[in-house]
A = this chain, B = another copy of it.
């Protein structure tokens, strides 16, 4: 079996590749190394099961030609499309960022799948497609879908195109709405942000927002376990699932306290006055994974345990 993974050198792509290679699956990996980093995949390059293409998906002709060659060697059963912008504020400031990196990559991947007759697409969507639905516990069939970031908008646009493709050429698709995922080698996110701030000033941690923002977090190991589980067990034409944790989440204040405790116990913490960090940041997020629980998967670590695990991993990585 062979899979094509886009965004292979990113946070999720790196961890996903590891699980496929462990199972003996051939991995064709694509990354333009804009946000993904070569060092994340260096350890895979010695394997004859791993083939890396450094390229931009939006350069379609080159994408098609190079993937075509690989597909002739061993044909691709699944595309795992993870490539996207991962810097939400950058995408809010400039609409073009998510249009190109989050939407157009999906457009060209679908074009490729159609051309090469690939069976299955697995797509990393996001809870950001739901926008701000307030206090409601959000299930997969809830609406309206009015994202508040261009990132969320272009993930929803990608879902829409996958959905219409399923009607005409795409045999099977998996749409996974990711929660906040933490672990290593994360390139962004609140934990990394706090650790980096404390590295610059070990006496004070300044937090955007008032710290009451509460979110659930899932560790990347569990996310990947859940994705493999769904692909193995759900066989609809379009399989769409929230993936996340089952607790009520932790506040930014709890994360700040945990980071300070593990990094720099004597540091003071200062907070802003608003209940959000930046445009496009949803203050409180309440996410139902009932559908996934019903399929038979559940997370092993709650949000707070996931946060502690991630902090420790990042500290080891940075040390």
Contacts and interface: CB of A to CB of B under 8 A. Distances in A.
Contacts of A166: 146
Q: 4 tightest CB-CB pairs across the interface, nearest first?
A: A157-B157, A143-B143, A153-B160, A146-B163
Contact of A148 (B140, B148, B163, B279): B163
The SS class assigned to the A binding surface is helix
A107 B103 CA distance: 12
A141 interface: yes
Interface in A147-185: 147-150, 152-154, 156-157, 159-161, 163-168
A21 interface: no
A258 to B, nearest CB: 30
A110 B131 contact: no
A261 B151 CA distance: 53
Interface of A: 92, 95, 99, 103, 107, 110-111, 114, 129, 131, 140-150, 152-154, 156-157, 159-161, 163-168, 238, 240, 279-280
Contacts of A164: 92, 147-150, 152-153, 280
Given A95-B110, A142-B143, A143-B145, A160 B168 contact: no
A165 B95 CA distance: 9
A95 B150 CA distance: 22
A160 B154 contact: yes
A163 B150 CA distance: 9
Given A141-B144, A145-B145, A238-B146, A95 B161 contact: yes
A167 to B, nearest CB: 4
26 contacts: A92-B168, A95-B110, A95-B111, A95-B161, A95-B165, A129-B160, A141-B142, A141-B143, A141-B144, A142-B143, A144-B240, A145-B145, A145-B163, A146-B160, A146-B166, A146-B240, A149-B164, A150-B161, A152-B164, A153-B164, A154-B157, A154-B161, A156-B156, A156-B160, A157-B157, A157-B161
Contacts of A140: 143-144
Contact of A167 (B141, B143, B240, B279): B279
Contacts of A92: 164, 167-168
Most-contacted residue by chain B among A99, A145, A149, A240 (CB, 10 A): A145
Nearest to A133: B141
Contacts of A142: 141, 143
Contact of A131 (B144, B154, B163): B163
